[in-house]
Structure 1
Amino acid sequence: MPRLITNTVVLAKVETTSGTDAVPTGAADAVLLADVSITPLDAQNIDRKLIRPFLGGAEQLVGPASVKATITVELAGSGTAGTAPKWGVLLQACGIAEANLTTPARNEYTPISSGMKTVTVYYYDDGVLHKLLGCMGNPKFSFKVGERPTLSVDLIGLDGGVSAVANPSATLTSWRVPPAITKANVVDITLGAAYAAGALTGGTTYNSTGLELELGNQVAFTPMLNSEFVQIADRAATGSMQLDLTAAQEVSLMASVKNNTTQSLAMTVGTAAGNKLIVHAPAVQLINPSKQELNGNRLIGFDLRLVPVSGNDELRLACV
């Protein structure tokens, strides 16, 4: 009987002690997948390079090894302002803190440089369980017109073993339906907006095809003789966008590129309380301008560099 790719269940839970199995369950920790893949053993194989009186290769020794997985989920709120969305656990594996705030009720996600958390991931592949322990990762966010908002996380974890185990029953009712990236559901890219307490003020809104961001975490598996671990050593957040600009706006933004100017960037996806996401970066440098085309219309593309102002503030996601 063939095994089906669609018969995949992923569980994820924040660890109390890094690298120690948090034992996620299908009832509390199931992930609603938009896409998923796994490298079940990413080994640093050791070539024996033997010299023998005949031609031919030798077997390799399996050296230090980690497990990699890429998990993509939809970015939807929990449905209740102040109640954290289920995908928050994945962001916590990426050096991002989850804060539950009031007045108004909301959840905010911002990067951190210490006190980072790790996550246990159980990856059930139609009867085969791969355990990833001490996981950390790099997140990528996509808010493109005509699509759904998504979070994709490239994870590296310690090899927690492989076993033949039946898939658990996965409870996914806490995962909500995201708003589509359409004109009715979005406040488009805004440059110069200020963020405070779950709201944006000011700035100039531009017509765009959406926004893509990446936190740029440098995630590495480090094997040693007495221990092994996964860590985030650094980050450099980047992104890209395409804007529909007037001639005057193009000239103005070209000047900001040449002058190495930074400015805030924001975008709001969703309109309903509990399912609205605000993206805000306080200091964004526009670089690498390019001429783009959409159905015969001129667009101007920019790459983005998101830099911190006071530290650990280069990107903020607020669920309100």
Structure 2
Amino acid sequence: MLTRKQMVLVKVESTYGQDSTPDGSDRIYVAEMEVTPYEGDRQALNRLREQLGAQPERNVAPYVTANITVGLAGSGTVGTPPAFDALLRACGMSVTESTSDVLYQPVQGQWESCTIYYRQDGQVQKITGAMGTPDFDVTSGQDPTIQFQMTGLYNKPEVSSPVTISELTQADEIPVNAENTSIQVHGHAACTESLSLSLGNTVNHRNLINCEKVRITDRESTGSLNIEAPAITTKDYFTAVESHSGHTTGPVTLTHGKTPGNIVELAGTAVQLSNITYQDSDGVVHYQLDTRWLPGAGGAPELTLKFT
């Protein structure tokens, strides 16, 4: 098989763990892909014997993991979800579509799952019941990405038939720079080198008597910011970081893109800057800030991802 001949199809499941049979219209553009096709808990079959050597082992709970990296971009059409919609929803996020935008936000339960078809040069592995967690990376001078770390039920790879590929409604990602990207950190237009954010879902594969499934059991959204250090009279980030007598939260809003249909906004209303260190960047002092994305007022979601 040839490494370069790969394709990924993803579709939300109507019933957990039942193949939703994604087709060519469910393809996503993938920048990087790493699949471990047969993971699981292994147990040795121990036997007393006169011979030295290894004991055989069994995989007592097989599953599959897939790290899927896509460009963070809109569909290209206002009000139409991006091609990776199913992955966002299988990471514990709800979707609300309107004529002006598509909004995703983490929810507290009733999470959806997806089926992933990983096609590789004439064979396909069908990963059912998949759930995961996304990591966002927005770094100056690079294309913004989301890496989906997915876990799903094991199905043995099989020979695949050709699939008819539909033209995707999906815009290309655009580079992160001063022209395309803006950010506000606690009310300050920080000169920012990078933002990273992990939704932080805890994802577990459970293989019990009469029950096998992947579940999201917890969530803790954290990340980091790397910004040019402003004069303390311009913005006092040390006051924002201090927590020895109570913690401070504030909004963080990143907007990327200028063209309708390919504008992305990642925002949180109650983000704590939890740590600060000095860094050098081209001879300029930078702050490396750890972030904790807390639920907003009245239990509002800790973050929103909006495509306009």
TM-score (norm 2): 0.95
In the alignment, structure 1 residue 164 sits paired with structure 2 residue 166: no
Please point out which of 114, 119, 122 is paired with 1:119. 114
Please point out which of 41, 44, 49 is paired with 1:47. 44
Deviations 1:223-248 (A, max 9, x none): 01212000100000011111112231
In the alignment, structure 1 residue 265 sits paired with structure 2 residue 252: yes
The CA deviation at 1:168 is 2.7
In the alignment, structure 1 residue 298 sits paired with structure 2 residue 295: no
Q: Does the C-alpha gap of structure 1 residues 249 and 91 become closer, same or farther in structure 2, counting only changes over 3 Å?
A: farther
The amino acid of 2:149's aligned partner reads D
Deviations 1:22-53 (A, max 9, x none): 00001x10111100010001021110121112
Deviations 1:198-232 (A, max 9, x none): xxxxx321101021111000000000121200010
In the alignment, structure 1 residue 139 sits paired with structure 2 residue 134: yes
Q: Sequence identity of aligned pairs in percent?
A: 32
Structure 1, unaligned runs of 5 or more? 193-202
Contact 1:113–1:312 (CA<8 Å) still a contact in 2? Answer: no
2:299 is aligned to 311
Q: How many residues align?
A: 304
Deviations 1:141-192 (A, max 9, x none): 11110111111100000013321224534335322112211111111x2024
Q: Does the C-alpha gap of structure 1 residues 134 and 140 become closer, same or farther in structure 2, counting only changes over 3 Å?
A: same
The CA deviation at 1:54 is 2.4
1:16 is aligned to 14
The CA deviation at 1:4 is 1.3
Q: Does the C-alpha gap of structure 1 residues 223 and 312 become closer, same or farther in structure 2, counting only changes over 3 Å?
A: farther
Contact 2:133–2:200 (CA<8 Å) still a contact in 1? Answer: yes
2:271 is aligned to 284
The CA deviation at 1:250 is 8.3
The CA deviation at 1:63 is 1.1
2: distance between equivalents of 1:154 and 1:312? 25
TM-score (norm 1): 0.91
2: distance between equivalents of 1:126 and 1:172? 20
Deviations 1:94-121 (A, max 9, x none): 000111134xx10001000111100000
The CA deviation at 1:249 is 5.5
Contact 2:63–2:153 (CA<8 Å) still a contact in 1? Answer: yes
The amino acid of 1:11's aligned partner reads L
In the alignment, structure 1 residue 191 sits paired with structure 2 residue 185: yes
Q: Specify the SS of the correspondent of 1:161.
A: coil
- Cα RMSD of the aligned pairs, angstroms, is 1.5
Structure 2, unaligned runs of 5 or more? none
Q: Specify the SS of the correspondent of 1:168.
A: coil
Contact 2:105–2:303 (CA<8 Å) still a contact in 1? Answer: yes
In the alignment, structure 1 residue 236 sits paired with structure 2 residue 209: no
Once the two structures are overlaid, the 10-residue window that deviates more, 43-52 or 66-75, is 43-52
2: distance between equivalents of 1:293 and 1:186? 22
1:220 is aligned to 204
Q: Specify the SS of the correspondent of 1:160.
A: coil
Contact 2:141–2:176 (CA<8 Å) still a contact in 1? Answer: yes
Please point out which of 23, 43, 62 is paired with 1:25. 23
The amino acid of 2:236's aligned partner reads S
Please point out which of 189, 211, 225 is paired with 1:205. 189
2: distance between equivalents of 1:73 and 1:167? 23
